[in-house]
Structure 1
Amino acid sequence: MRGLTVDVQLQDAESRMSCLLANFYSTVDGVNTESIIHEDPKSVVGYLVNALRPTAFHSAIQDSLERPAGKPLKKDVSMFLRWLRPQMEEFMKYETHILAAQHGVSNAVSQQPQ
């Protein structure tokens, strides 16, 4: 599922999720593997997680899925998507500040005297 990523230019979680799913279904349909959604939901969740951007959000979701409470989400695509949407909405409230802070730290490091 190369090339499958969240479009971070979109300004709301609903649009990001819709675009991600449309691209995913288009990719799956293009290679005639629609059955993967029912036959291998764990892989589908993995593909969707790998598509998440920015990196801070991707890492947070991966960490959540590794916890005991996140294990069932890996096995059910619809449950995962219902859980992911509010996670994305919550992250987007602070996304600008998180990215600005990360950018500020990288600028501060690059401007240190040597």
Structure 2
Amino acid sequence: MTIPQHGLERAAPEDVEVRGRQIKKGDVVVPALFAANRDPERFENPDTFDIGRSATAHLAFGFGVHQCVGRQLARVEMRIAIPALLERFPTLRLGAPAEDIEMRTNSLAYRTGALPVAW
């Protein structure tokens, strides 16, 4: 049986309080990766996909020494490939109602099961 990994163990580098809970230096914590960037206190409409959102300080590519090595490639893809795709296919749109798009939450990458499109 495969158990999906929902977080990565980390040791707290210093004493810190998170939402009223004390975490001591050296305590092991397992951040919930699926909850990253979905805090309604920090992000407006966090459960809505908005490609034009200007949210900063997100955790999509990790932080500090744990930053994703592919983050710059992903950023270039978002800045170049997506606009090029939409320029090439200006009528590109979802091929199904947004509420019918299944999201896969059983892996490290939060993603769609399939993304039907039409143009």
Give the TM-score normalised by structure 1. Answer: 0.30
| Structure 1 or 2: more strand by fraction | 2
Structure with bigger helix share is: 1
Larger radius of gyration: 2
